[in-house]
Structure 1
Amino acid sequence: MSSKTSTETPTDQNTHLSVSRGLAGWLTQHATSLAFSCYQSGQLFLVGVLPNGSVSFNQQKFSRAMGLCWQPAGRLYLGALDQVWRLENMLRPGELGNQHFDRVLVPRNAQTTGDVDIHELGVDRDGHVVFVNTRYSCLATLDPRHSFRPLWKPPFISRLAPEDRCHLNGLAMADGAPRYVTAVSRSDVVDGWRERRNEGGLLIDVTSNAIVTDQLSMPHSPRIAGDGSVVLLDSGWGRICRVDPASGTRQTIAFCPGFLRGMALHDGFAIVTVSKPRNGTFSGLALDTELADRDAVPWCGVLIVDLATGDIVEWIRLEGFITELFDVAAMPGVRCPMALGPGTLEMQNTISFEPLA
């Protein structure tokens, strides 16, 4: 891990952002920018590189900002407290926002779901949003009349109830369809997963209902790597792991100093969010012991990990009021994005339209 920072930026309520010395260069070299969410403060952060080579942070408020899904056409989906937001890039080719930003993401639609504790999001081959409905222990999609339309539930869940029974949380899409999910346990009673945080975490194949492995601790964010393996967060251990979907065997890639919740894969790297403990979150988990054995304190931030070596090559760190993050998305081909926030004066005064033919 690099020891020097190149930027320190104040955020709301006395939180400071600092970055590793090479972050701007890494983002430029790998032709991407980042989005990450904080449900604690209800914020969406966009990270890019300004023309002068410094790191840009843009932040907007979205109540309980959680799951993120970036679409190459310039669309960002965001799961929030009781809505799924769709943000669209308003710029035409060659345009810049405020002289610097090559994407300006504007909230154009908010589908109301009610508080179903939306975690991760994906988009299927027909362009429909698929989301993890954690409160009802299922995968769901948006419905024009109802809060949601259920698509799938784990085989051990006897019925859909607002009880967060197994803490279904992570979603991996493949070929435009849900393929793998993670859950903290196979509990089928209200909040039953809370008593199973340290063992019994699941990776499930949605297409076959098969449990690939149940040897995880509070797993999150399954992602399918280029070789067909599943890279996921074994959060109770503080590890990024690779799982063979055929055998269920797992290999540790890296240890990260914090509670892992969100991950994006890009160019052979894992980009992950880490959080500090909340109300004894680490109590009883191996992560607590791992941190003590390494004489380490937990971070809140974003880490970029080389999947080949397990090295943490770059980072963003938040210190102060914000102590927990949720998801992160890579935005390939975007150099410096910004967003507008709902209900802001800037949003009210930003009008765009296609001219008459």
Structure 2
Amino acid sequence: MAAVTDIPPNSIDKHDAGLRSVHTSNLPDLLDQLGITLLVTTYQAGKLVMLRSEAGVLNTHFRSFDQPMGLAVDADRIAIGTAMQVHEFRNIPAACDRVQSSHRHDACFLPRVTHQTGDIDVHEMAWVQNELVFVNTRFSCLAKRSGTYNFVPVWRPSFITQNVPDDCCHLNGMAVRDGNVRYVTALGDSNEPSGWRANKKDGGVLIDVQSNEIAARGLSMPHSPRWHDGKLWLLNSGSGSFGTIDLASGRYEPLLTLPGFTRGLSFYGPLAFIGLSQVRETAVFAGIPIAELPMEQRCCGVWVVNLQTANVIAFVKFEDTVQEIFAVEVLPGSRYPELVNEDRELIAGTYELPDTTLPCNS
């Protein structure tokens, strides 16, 4: 990867005015050098955004979903949690030639499974030992899909006494370590309905799933815990900061503060891709430090941070319609993918079968 040290002047994406964005001119080349695409969900605007490099320009490609939030991503599959469903897509490379586009696609994700969860406020998701695990925020638990039930609870914090849809602690993020979910974040440790709201400014906690003990307290609306390069990172969203947790002491150590409500985090080598939201003027966000900034100073987009220098090296900033980000995930090994969720003709006429069932030439 070529070293990038300075932020060049912004360039403007030519999209519908309501979905307009500006970005540093080095971002498309950075994505191209890394061979990746960034996937971003915004439940507020009802979109999955695919940030792709196209001939030196950032291509912001939008797909519509009903309040998309959590994402689980690897090279061959994508899962998206929405208002009442979890959708799973698979990469079908042979379908790339059937997509009408001025640019050659190197991956094409088609729908495979839609699971009905009900209104459980799905937050972060991940494949764990080939099963999709998701944060069920309304029921304050981690859960899995089921062929019989809306979901099957697999873990809940020790202070939550029963499986009821009361959003007691606003469980929201999870970190996978050594192949298992190891840490989760919550906005409080309450067992009362919506009890987390009473002390959202600094009542946030990090919980060790293995021991079911609170590993860190005093956080401001924490989100997106991640185990990366031997450290536990998270976003202290209420303060707009990004940093690590010293697991021995439970102390949060900020690396830098960004101009927005930090939520959505993914890594690629020494780079962190961090989502920022403007946050609305509502009771949910009232009283937290980032909400004290004037609205015009709060940004919505994805910021790229070099972990080795603690510097912002690139960003894309959304304007107008898109004001809040939930998830940011790196899609590795694909510079220009497509995800198809509304092209009925393409979905109806594309088939994937086991190799053993296909005719062979003799």
TM-score by length of 2: 0.90
The answer (yes or no) to whether the contact 1:83–1:112 under 8 Å persists in 2 is yes
Q: Does residue 112 of structure 1 match 2:111?
A: no
Tell me by how many angstroms 1:105 deviates.
1.1
Matches within 5 A, 1:117-196: 117-125=121-129, 127-196=130-199
- Secondary structure of the corresponding residue to residue 45 of structure 1: strand
What's the CA shift string for 1:138-165, capped at 9, x where partnerless? 0000011011000000011111110100
Structure 1: gaps spanning 5 or more residues: none
Tell me by how many angstroms 1:245 deviates.
2.0
Moved more, 84-93 or 27-36: 84-93
Tell me by how many angstroms 1:307 deviates.
1.6
Moved more, 36-45 or 132-141: 36-45
Which residue of structure 2 lines up, in the alignment, with residue 335 of structure 1?
335
Tell me by how many angstroms 1:286 deviates.
1.7
Residue of structure 2 aligned with 1:201, choices 192, 201, 204: 204
Which residue of structure 1 lines up, in the alignment, with residue 281 of structure 2?
279
The answer (yes or no) to whether the contact 2:98–2:346 under 8 Å persists in 1 is no
Per the alignment, do residues 347 and 117 of structure 1 end up closer, same or farther by CA in structure 2, a change over 3 Å counting?
farther
Residue of structure 1 aligned with 2:88, choices 83, 86, 89: 86
Per the alignment, do residues 165 and 347 of structure 1 end up closer, same or farther by CA in structure 2, a change over 3 Å counting?
farther
Tell me by how many angstroms 1:352 deviates.
3.3
The answer (yes or no) to whether the contact 1:107–1:341 under 8 Å persists in 2 is yes
Matches within 5 A, 1:218-257: 218-227=221-230, 229-257=231-259
Matches within 5 A, 1:261-300: 261-280=263-282, 281-289=284-292, 291=293, 297-300=297-300
Tell me by how many angstroms 1:256 deviates.
1.1
Which residue of structure 2 lines up, in the alignment, with residue 352 of structure 1?
351
Q: CA RMSD in A?
A: 2.1
* Code of the aligned partner of 2:120: V
- Secondary structure of the corresponding residue to residue 9 of structure 1: coil
* Code of the aligned partner of 1:274: L
The answer (yes or no) to whether the contact 2:52–2:335 under 8 Å persists in 1 is yes
The answer (yes or no) to whether the contact 1:59–1:339 under 8 Å persists in 2 is no
Identity %: 33
- Secondary structure of the corresponding residue to residue 198 of structure 2: helix
Q: Distance in 2 between matches of 1:190 and 1:312?
A: 39
Which residue of structure 2 lines up, in the alignment, with residue 313 of structure 1?
313
- Secondary structure of the corresponding residue to residue 24 of structure 1: helix
Per the alignment, do residues 310 and 346 of structure 1 end up closer, same or farther by CA in structure 2, a change over 3 Å counting?
farther
Moved more, 321-330 or 54-63: 54-63
Q: Distance in 1 between matches of 2:308 and 2:81?
A: 31
Tell me by how many angstroms 1:254 deviates.
1.3
The answer (yes or no) to whether the contact 1:95–1:102 under 8 Å persists in 2 is no
- In the comparison of the two structures, how many residue pairs are matched? 348
Per the alignment, do residues 350 and 185 of structure 1 end up closer, same or farther by CA in structure 2, a change over 3 Å counting?
same
The answer (yes or no) to whether the contact 2:43–2:66 under 8 Å persists in 1 is yes
Q: Distance in 1 between matches of 2:191 and 2:20?
A: 41
* Code of the aligned partner of 1:102: D
Tell me by how many angstroms 1:349 deviates.
5.3
Per the alignment, do residues 346 and 329 of structure 1 end up closer, same or farther by CA in structure 2, a change over 3 Å counting?
farther
What's the CA shift string for 1:208-241, capped at 9, x where partnerless? 11211012110000000112x2110001111001
Runs of 4+ that moved beyond 6 A: 93-96
Q: Does residue 56 of structure 1 match 2:59?
A: yes
- Secondary structure of the corresponding residue to residue 36 of structure 1: strand
Q: Distance in 1 between matches of 2:172 and 2:352?
A: 38
The answer (yes or no) to whether the contact 2:202–2:221 under 8 Å persists in 1 is yes
Structure 2: gaps spanning 5 or more residues: 1-5
- Secondary structure of the corresponding residue to residue 13 of structure 2: strand
Residue of structure 1 aligned with 2:217, choices 214, 236, 242: 214
Tell me by how many angstroms 1:347 deviates.
4.7
Per the alignment, do residues 136 and 80 of structure 1 end up closer, same or farther by CA in structure 2, a change over 3 Å counting?
same
Which residue of structure 1 lines up, in the alignment, with residue 79 of structure 2?
77
Q: Does residue 40 of structure 1 match 2:40?
A: no
What's the CA shift string for 1:71-95, capped at 9, x where partnerless? 23x1011111111111111114996
- Secondary structure of the corresponding residue to residue 188 of structure 2: coil
Q: Distance in 1 between matches of 2:106 and 2:220?
A: 40
The answer (yes or no) to whether the contact 1:168–1:181 under 8 Å persists in 2 is yes
Q: Distance in 2 between matches of 1:3 and 1:254?
A: 20
Per the alignment, do residues 107 and 9 of structure 1 end up closer, same or farther by CA in structure 2, a change over 3 Å counting?
farther
